[in-house]
Structure 1
Amino acid sequence: MSTTSTVVYDGGHALLVDPAWTAEELEAIADELAARNLKVELGWATHAHHDHLLWHPRFGPAPRWATSRAADVAAEHLNQLRAALEPTLPAGLRSLAGAVQAYDGARLPWRGTVAEVVAHQAHAPGHGALWLPGPGVLLAGDMLSEQEIPLCAETGIEAYRDGLDQLAPYVARARVLIPGHGTPALASTPDSPIARLSADRAYLDALAAPATAGDPRLGDAPDWLLAEHEANVAAARDAQA
């Protein structure tokens, strides 16, 4: 698995979003922060999946937040998400996973660039993307990936479609889109933020006629992603029954 970790910094202040994934990688993030003389002022988890709820003691005592719904889900499933981390993290780091507090403000209260919370229910309950209007960057969490199809099993296809609609105004303005899995999308390129949005909408539309679907992300997809696609197809078929 590859999960994107993002550091937003302004002066010596840092906003740390979804730090991941192995103990060595978390250490490397801490090393990079120290090398740049950055102090973590705030941590943000985009949603309550185990690979987005990690932390390291060297990041310091900064508050760690998620939307209230995501924080509730993390608390409800804390034992399960920590158990899922046993293959990759030692016990000391697993004990820090998932310890996020609820935040439902429109903007994150830190001393750096404006970071607006864009909350929706696609992919996971209380998914909280971040929009940075100054640099024009959208931190999309587990959405709008060039590697992964929409993963709808947890909250449903219509919730996913609604989430894309909520993200659309920010996608239209984004110079850079950073997904939780995959590579950044740059405006005015073939793989632009708008192209990512169009691809996900086209995928959802094609679920109604899966025989005609030909999403390139399924071309040489791993078995787990193919299984997610089949689950999406089944859910779309059930919705039409």
Structure 2
Amino acid sequence: MATSAVYATTSSLVVGDDGTTLVVDPGVTAGEVAGLGAAVVRRGWRPVAVWSTHGHWDHVLDGHGVRGLPRWRAGGPVAHESRWVEERSRERDDDAALAAVLAAHPQDAPADVVPVPPVPFPHAPGTDRLDWPGPEVAVVPHAAHAPDHGALVVVHAGVLLCGDMLSDREVPLLDDASADPVGDYRDGLELLAAAVEQFGVSVVVPGHGSPGDRDELDRRLDADRTYLDDLVTGRSDDPRLADPWVADAHAAQLAALHR
């Protein structure tokens, strides 16, 4: 796992015994993506595909070391490149720290990311797996945070790569284009919780923030459920709101839900 200077965005590598490597959410600056690719080469690993946990701008980046690889995501609608540019520009305008980082460290354009064909998981009826030559990886699609969100479970390692969920830094950030953003997020949390039990997950790696063990994973599930309850009632004392950026996002969500 590597952590970006932008929003503590995480990139993860799933590596097989023969060096076959799946790159998950490469980002965020061009230098960081290139550094990730260089680290793979130094270790003698062989990247074969890239997984984007969802279509937001900081999770679909191209760059040296991953350019030309198959790019996969879960099903559901994904933002067009023009939406990507608009989304990134809006966040940059609202966040001076982000603007400074992106001004100093350019990015490559987003890659063309396509839905991965579902392949039944032989040991877990009703669950799909990633069709690739590395370790068994289960796919957990849902519509929390983004309509095309797809978490991964690295089965033999008991690791959940959950994208923009279960963060120790960010409260649940809803999909403001959804007809039922809170309901979609609740459903997403329950799907992740079910996968945790089904596959005996012992480690969580969020899309932003720090990894955690099983106790921390359970704590984050409870914290995110509580945050959603509090959001509906109009008040929250979640400690993650101490971050000004997170507090602003929370205020916008409150305003959208209670207008």
Q: In structure 1, what is the Cα distance between the partners aligned to 2:170 and 2:73?
A: 23
Partners in 1 of 2:113 and 2:250 — Cα distance?
30
- For 2:223, the equivalent position in structure 1 comes to 199
Letter in 2 for 1:182: G
The Cα shift of 1:79 comes to 4.7
Q: Which amino acid aligns with 1:101?
A: V
- Distance, in Å, in 2 between the alignment partners of 1:109 and 1:153 is 28
Cα shift readout 1:154-199 (whole Å, capped 9, x = no counterpart): 33111111111111112343211000000001124xxx11111010
Q: Report the residue type matching 1:61 in the other structure.
A: G
Distance in 1 separating the partners of 2:151 and 2:105: 26
Q: How many angstroms does 1:230 deviate by?
A: 1.6
**Which string of whole-angstrom CA distances, capped at 9 and with x for unpartnered residues, describes residues 13-43 of structure 1?**
0000000111221121111101111111110
Matching of residue 108 in structure 1 with residue 130 in structure 2:
yes
**1:9-48 aligned within 5 A:** 9-10=15-16, 11-48=18-55
Offset of 1:73 from its aligned partner? 2.4
**Secondary structure, aligned partner of 1:57:** coil
**Residues 158-197 of structure 1: pairs in structure 2 closer than 5 A:** 158-172=183-197, 173-188=200-215, 192-197=216-221
Find the counterpart in structure 1 of residue 63 from structure 2: 56
Provide the identity percentage.
Answer: 38
Whether the 8 Å contact between 1:157 and 1:236 is mirrored in structure 2 is no
Change (3 A) 1:81 1:215: closer
Q: Deviations over 1:73-108 (max 9, x none)?
A: 245735536767964654xx523x131122241211
Aligned positions of 1:148-163 closer than 5 A: 148-154=170-176, 155=178, 156-163=181-188
Q: Is the 8 A contact 2:34 2:64 kept in 1?
A: no
Alignment of 1:56-75 (within 5 A): 56-70=63-77, 72-74=78-80
Distance in 2, Cα, partners of 1:14 & 1:227: 37
3-state SS of paired residue (2:135): coil
**Greater than 4 Å deviation, 4+ residue runs:** 81-86
Query: For residues 215 and 78 of structure 1, what CA distance do their matches in structure 2 show?
Result: 30
TM-aligned CA distance change 1:79 to 1:145, over 3 Å: closer
- Letter of the 1:167 counterpart: L
**Among 168, 171, 175, which residue is 1:146 paired with?**
168
Q: Does structure 2 retain, via aligned residues, the 8 Å contact 1:74–1:98?
A: no
**Cα shift at 1:140:** 0.4
Please list every run of 5 or more consecutive structure 1 residues that lacks an aligned counterpart in the other structure.
none
- TM-score (ref. length: structure 1): 0.86
Cα pair 2:142 2:188 within 8 Å, conserved: yes
1:19/1:148 CA distance change after superposition, 3 Å: same
Matched, 1:216 2:223: no
Instruction: Kindly provide the amino acid, as one letter, of the partner of residue 160 in structure 1.
Output: Y
Tell me: CA distance 1:150–1:55, structure 2 relative to 1, closer, same or farther (3 Å).
Answer: same
Alignment RMSD:
2.2
